[in-house]
Chains A and B, each alone.
Chain A
Amino acid sequence: MTIEVKNIVKKFGAFTALDNVDLKVGKGELLALLGPSGSGKTTLLRIIAGLDWPDFGEVSFDGEDALTRGASERHVGFVFQHYALFRHMTVFENVAFGLRVQPRAVRKDEASIRARVKELLDLVQLDWLANRYPSQLSGGQRQRIALARALAIEPRILLLDEPFGALDAKVRKELRQWLRSLHSEIHVTSIFVTHDQEEALEVANRVVVMDKGRIEQIGTPGEVYDSPATAFVHGFIGESIVLPVDVSGGSVRLGGRPLNIAANGAASGASKLFVRRHDMQIGPAGSGSLEGAVRHVRSFGPIQRAEVTLSGAEGKTVIEIDAPRDRELQAGEIVGLQPRRYRIFAAQD
């Protein structure tokens, strides 16, 4: 099932939740909608599910208009952040719900419903919980039951709204891997919403980065991490050092001092220089176009993280740099810094 979203606009009073959003999702994709809260990602998901309606725009499944159908007719599996399990039903009845409410003409008989529910509970490895109530389950178990319930109707599309948002870190990690392997098993077109970049990069085939109701970038996890399209994406995904610079005629200046880097075609004017923490080369004093004093060093794993106070006319700026541990840094040491890889975006404000 392919999904196509065109020119979607959605306003809540004076607040614009979605501002002209276009998106195409291919068959069998596992897509992440990534963005901070208020970026419109959940609203977009709810519009695709039919739980919200856009003010303008089109939504189509396999080229067929979806907006003429209500949520109950779209055959979309929806998994809620807070599970939304039916609290008065057992796990078994929760999963069976979608099968029991089918019109009488197509409804399966009791034996096949039981078999199907059993199959789904096996799939999420929770068949031993069939007779429990949702309140007796842990968060991770509830979310897996919610997923089994959504899959029961053999959805054409699976939509997950912050599926792991309410779980603790360890369970979240387990469920991420589990979702990936489940997706490669059943291969249903899936979209999940998250504000956790690690989750998006780790689970999805493609990532859609959103901010303030607009799509900032669509790409594979590698693309959005290595070649962010906008300043927002660079700042939101991965840890970055951000320095205010001036670009004029192909040269880049920080606080009046020229940096020995190319402008790479950036327009003249006030700009922002983005460097990943591990892309800032640390050397002896005088080895780079920036200089600073090491304030503090923490070593863990393969890296040492140095807090460096940049010296320069722009006042005191403290940046964090990840350096390999081949040369141990000392607090108080003066070091030279040179960006290895970087991007320059025009300053918006």
Chain B
Amino acid sequence: MSTQSSFVTSATELRAYAPSTDLAIASPLSRKASAPSRPVISPENLRTEPGPIRFVIIALAVTFLTVFVVLPLVVVFAQAFSKGVGAYFGALAEPEALSAIKLTLLVAAISVTLNLIFGVIAAWAITKFDFRGKTFLITLIDLPFSVSPVISGLVFVLLFGAQGFLGPWLQANNIHVLFAVPGIALATIFVTFPFVARALIPLMQEQGTQEEEAAISLGASGLQTFFRVTLPNIKWGLLYGVLLCNARAMGEFGAVSVVSGHIRGETNTMPLLVEILYNEYQFVSSFAIASLLAMLALITLIVKTVLERRLDEGQPPA
């Protein structure tokens, strides 16, 4: 009896998938009568390619991933541990390495915090209000994505450098922007600006303004509306944006390289130090720090997958 019923469902599904062919059967009975003369085709077979083609496509994808993603990762860790675990941790404990790790964490903390605030404000303004110049603002937000990071760094050199626009004034007041933490933070903020806003805008657009209107008509103030209604609705999207923003902030090379000045133990972030050590043939140290960045990437990917699942559900757990 159970085979009978599953047979009926597959027949009806068949009709749905192949409505124009003679596989479209009017009733289970007539299907049964004609069944012996035809091979039984399952819905899965109708939807996919024949076996050999499937095999080739999957093999291609796996090979590509292995060569371009898995192998490089393996090489990073293999090189990092090539002289043993002791050498690995020794390399990480070097003062230069520790300083680079500290600086990277500091810059990431500054830029992620500020971009979180800017991003939420920008997305809130763009999606919940109508105003002149909205499209221009959206274009501005995307600008850092379309400009080469080196150019982004150069902009700050032109602004704050000794021959730059604000340089003389800064020098006169003994404020250090370039070749110091502020410059590195500014360049990183610029490069990572779009992540939070870009993650939030489509989400907030889809959610519309009705819940906010309901909250306001119930007597909530603007801030109450934001913290009690808007923020809980966007929290997963916000975390997603922060995650990507953080990954980029820690990994940024081009823009930071231009403004950092590469002062050892002072203005080298982790990506910069990786390059310097590599150029000095200190492979273990170089790859040890690279392995930290690789681990950051792996963690980011895992958390990102979890967040994406949350975003798809879109609803709190029951």
Q: Which residue numbers of A lie inside 8 Å of B, CB to CB?
A: 49-51, 70-78, 80, 82, 84-89, 97-98, 101-102, 132-133, 135-136, 146, 149-150, 152-153
Which residue on B lies nearest to A77, using beta carbons? B217
**B residues less than 8 Å from A136 (CB atoms):** 318
Do B218 and A149 have beta carbons less than 8 Å apart?
yes
Q: Which residue numbers of B lie inside 8 Å of A, CB to CB?
A: 210-211, 213-221, 224, 228-229, 232-233, 314-316, 318
Which residue on A lies nearest to B220, using beta carbons? A101
Do A51 and B217 have beta carbons less than 8 Å apart?
yes
Do B215 and A101 have beta carbons less than 8 Å apart?
yes
Do B224 and A101 have beta carbons less than 8 Å apart?
yes
Do B228 and A97 have beta carbons less than 8 Å apart?
yes
Report the bound CA distance from A117 to B50 in whole Å: 60
Question: Which of A78, A133, A146, A152 is in CB contact (< 8 Å) with B213?
Answer: A78
Which residue on A lies nearest to B217, using beta carbons? A78
The 6 closest A-B pairs by CB, nearest first: A98-B218, A84-B210, A101-B220, A78-B217, A84-B214, A88-B232
B50 to chain A, nearest CB (A): 41
Report the bound CA distance from A74 to B213 in whole Å: 13
Report the bound CA distance from A14 to B217 in whole Å: 28
Report the bound CA distance from A293 to B218 in whole Å: 60
Question: Which of A49, A87, A133, A153 is in CB contact (< 8 Å) with B219?
Answer: A153
Question: Which of B211, B220, B229, B316 is in CB contact (< 8 Å) with A133?
Answer: B316
Which residue on A lies nearest to B219, using beta carbons? A72
B217, B220, B221 — which one has the most chain A CB atoms within 10 A of its CB?
Answer: B217
Q: A97-B228, A101-B228 are in contact. Are A87 and B213 (CB under 8 A)?
A: no
Do A49 and B217 have beta carbons less than 8 Å apart?
yes
Report the bound CA distance from A86 to B216 in whole Å: 12
Do B211 and A86 have beta carbons less than 8 Å apart?
yes
Do B217 and A86 have beta carbons less than 8 Å apart?
no
Q: What would be 9 A-B contacts, judged by CB atoms less than 8 Å apart?
A: A50-B217, A72-B220, A78-B214, A85-B211, A101-B228, A135-B315, A149-B214, A149-B218, A150-B218
**B residues less than 8 Å from A87 (CB atoms):** 211, 233, 314-316
**A residues less than 8 Å from B211 (CB atoms):** 84-87
**A residues less than 8 Å from B232 (CB atoms):** 86, 88-89
**A residues less than 8 Å from B229 (CB atoms):** 86
Which residue on A lies nearest to B233, using beta carbons? A88
Question: Which of B213, B216, B219, B228 is in CB contact (< 8 Å) with A80?
Answer: B213
Do A75 and B213 have beta carbons less than 8 Å apart?
no
**A residues less than 8 Å from B221 (CB atoms):** 72, 101
B217 to chain A, nearest CB (A): 4
**A residues less than 8 Å from B218 (CB atoms):** 72, 97-98, 101, 149-150, 152-153
**A residues less than 8 Å from B220 (CB atoms):** 72, 97-98, 101
Do A72 and B217 have beta carbons less than 8 Å apart?
yes
Report the bound CA distance from A149 to B217 in whole Å: 11
With A78-B213, A150-B217 given, can you name 7 additional A-B contacts, CB distance below 8 Å?
A: A72-B216, A86-B232, A97-B215, A98-B218, A101-B219, A101-B221, A153-B218
**A residues less than 8 Å from B217 (CB atoms):** 49-51, 71-72, 74, 76-78, 150
**B residues less than 8 Å from A85 (CB atoms):** 211, 214
B317 to chain A, nearest CB (A): 9
A73 to chain B, nearest CB (A): 8
B266 to chain A, nearest CB (A): 46
